[in-house]
Amino acid sequence: MSDNGEQAFKQEDQMSNDKDVRTVEVTAKYLKALRKAVGRQIDPETAEVFWTYAQTLDPYGDDPNLPEECRQVGREYFARSPGGDVWIWFGDLPDATRNSLWEKHKTRLAFPAGLDFIPFALDYLERNFGPISSLSEVELGHAMMATYEAYLAEKNEARLPEDVYGDRDDGAKS
Number of neighbouring beta carbons within 10 Å of residue 78: 22
Q: Please, where are the H alpha helices in the chain?
A: 3-18, 28-40, 95-109, 117-129, 137-154, 162-165
* End position of a domain, from candidates 105, 124, 142: 105
In a domain, 158, yes or no: yes
In a domain, 19, yes or no: no
In terms of domains, do 96 and 38 share one? yes
In terms of domains, do 81 and 127 share one? no
In terms of domains, do 168 and 118 share one? yes
In a domain, 26, yes or no: no
Domain boundaries, position 91: 32-105
105-126 pLDDT per residue, tens? 987 787 766 567 778 888 899 9
Amino acid at position 103, single letter: E
In a domain, 59, yes or no: yes
Give the neighbor-by-neighbor strand order of the sheet with 48-55.
48-55, 73-80, 88-89
In terms of domains, do 138 and 155 share one? yes
For the ranges 14-23, 72-81, 132-141, 147-156, the one whose mean pLDDT is highest: 72-81
Partners of 170 in beta bridges = none
For the cut 50, the answer to whether the pLDDT of residue 2 exceeds it is no
* End position of a domain, from candidates 105, 125, 142: 105
Distance separating alpha carbons of residues 60 and 87, to the nearest angstrom: 9
Distance separating alpha carbons of residues 36 and 89, to the nearest angstrom: 9
Distance separating alpha carbons of residues 93 and 152, to the nearest angstrom: 25
In a domain, 150, yes or no: yes
In a domain, 11, yes or no: no
In terms of domains, do 140 and 100 share one? no
Residues 125, 114, 171, CA angle at the centre, nearest 5°?
60
In terms of domains, do 100 and 118 share one? no
In terms of domains, do 43 and 99 share one? yes
Cβ(77)–Cβ(51) under 8 Å? yes
Query: Can you tell me whether residue 173 is helix, strand or coil?
Result: coil
* End position of a domain, from candidates 105, 137, 152: 105
In a domain, 168, yes or no: yes
Q: How many helices (H) and strands (E) does the chain have?
A: 6, 3
Backbone angles phi, psi at 49, to 5 degrees: -135, 155
pTM: 0.55
Q: Structural domain tally of the chain?
A: 2
In terms of domains, do 101 and 52 share one? yes
In terms of domains, do 50 and 91 share one? yes
15-42 pLDDT per residue, tens? 555 566 788 888 989 999 999 999 999 9
Torsion angle in degrees (nearest 10) through CA of 68, 74, 79, 84: 50
